Amino acid sequence: MPGEREEMMLRIIDLCDSVRKRGLDPFDVGVREFFDRLRELLPKLRKDEELYLDIQAVLGLADVIFQQGEWIKHKSSMLYLDPLLIMLKLHALPPEDLAEIGASSWHPILELEGLSPHGIREAMQYWTNLPPLGERWKEPETTEVLAGEIARRELAHLGILSEEEFAATLDRNWRELREAAGEKEGIPYWDFICAQSFEQTVARAWLVSFLVSYGYATLELRPLEEEILLKPLHKPRKLEQVATFSVPISISRSEWLRRRKRG
């Protein structure tokens, strides 16, 4: 069974092979990060097999760099334009130029303009039924809707009846996360949310999403180790300082059972 160092190098080799054999985008590979990992591992390598895997990993990353260069040559030969660049160029164009481009590129197969008697009657009825101009400028009637009504129902379903109780529950989970992490940098996501029942696991995952959204903790994705690290912060951040992002994590009953059996 390969050790931790060998497994790391085998994953790098497999990822590099995916670029050439399975068409993976070469720019999705963190070449610099992987070279840094290999540089840290090199002084620890003792066996011939480990050194051979290190050579394979370096050659694989070199090939990924070559594939990146080929991708750039191919796109530049096709006069490739990034969609973002096109959008910025469109925003920079004045309305007159945009109208001229639209008119010059419009080639309808058939065009017919006309107003039927029925359309004239509808237009007259529309203008006749319009209220006076003074009434049209009045403030529209509004109905006050309490923000967060659905969220409160969900909280009540989980046994949380008020915002104060919800804040206390978040604080309690944050302290529990800090205690579970201890002196370590963080704790694997599944190790923290996995509970005795599937329902409790889903509830803990739900609360963890608020811990991350409200600045109590951060998530670190480690694709090489196929792991998500949950890192508690020593002090909660202010909401305006929290960088918002979305990380979809599938929590199925089968996955929960598999991890429970594994211990």
> Mean pLDDT for the chain?
78
CA distance 57 to 35: 9
CA distance 204 to 195: 8
Per-residue pLDDT, averaged over 2-22, amounts to 82
| Residue where a domain stops, chosen among 59, 77, 95 | 77
pLDDT at 61 over 60: yes
pLDDT at 145 over 50: no
Q: What is the CATH number of the domain that holds 213?
A: 1.10.10.580
Ramachandran class of 182: left when φ > 0, alpha when ψ lies in -120 to 50, beta otherwise: left
180 in a domain, yes or no?
Answer: yes
3-class DSSP state for residue 57? helix
Smallest CA-to-CA distance from 234 within 215, 214, 210 is with: 215
50 in a domain, yes or no?
Answer: yes
Smallest CA-to-CA distance from 207 within 217, 220, 197 is with: 217
Tell whether 61 and 155 lie within a shared domain.
no
112 in a domain, yes or no?
Answer: no
Question: How many distinct structural domains can be found in the chain?
Answer: 2
pLDDT of the residue at 5: 80
3-class DSSP state for residue 246? coil
Strand pairing report for 227-232 and 217-222: antiparallel
Q: In this structure, how many other beta carbons lie within 10 angstroms of the beta carbon of residue 37?
A: 18
pLDDT of the residue at 241: 56
pLDDT of the residue at 112: 63
Q: 23 vs 2, which has greater pLDDT?
A: 23
Smallest CA-to-CA distance from 187 within 218, 153, 209 is with: 218
pLDDT at 60 over 50: yes
134 in a domain, yes or no?
Answer: no
CA distance 114 to 216: 63
61 in a domain, yes or no?
Answer: yes
226 in a domain, yes or no?
Answer: yes
pLDDT of the residue at 103: 85
62 in a domain, yes or no?
Answer: yes
Question: Is residue 57 within 8 Å of residue 13, measured between CB atoms?
Answer: yes
Q: How far is CA 154 from CA 150, 202, 204, in A?
A: 6, 13, 14
Which of 72-86, 150-164, 169-183, 244-258 ranks highest by mean pLDDT?
169-183
Tell whether 255 and 153 lie within a shared domain.
yes
Looking at 61-70, 174-183, 203-212, 233-242, which range is the least confident one? 233-242
Q: In this structure, how many other beta carbons lie within 10 angstroms of the beta carbon of residue 180?
A: 14
CA distance 83 to 89: 10
Q: Which domain holds residue 206?
A: 149-262
pLDDT of the residue at 246: 59
The token duo for 146 is: 């309490």
| Residue where a domain stops, chosen among 77, 107, 133 | 77
163 in a domain, yes or no?
Answer: yes
pLDDT at 148 over 50: no
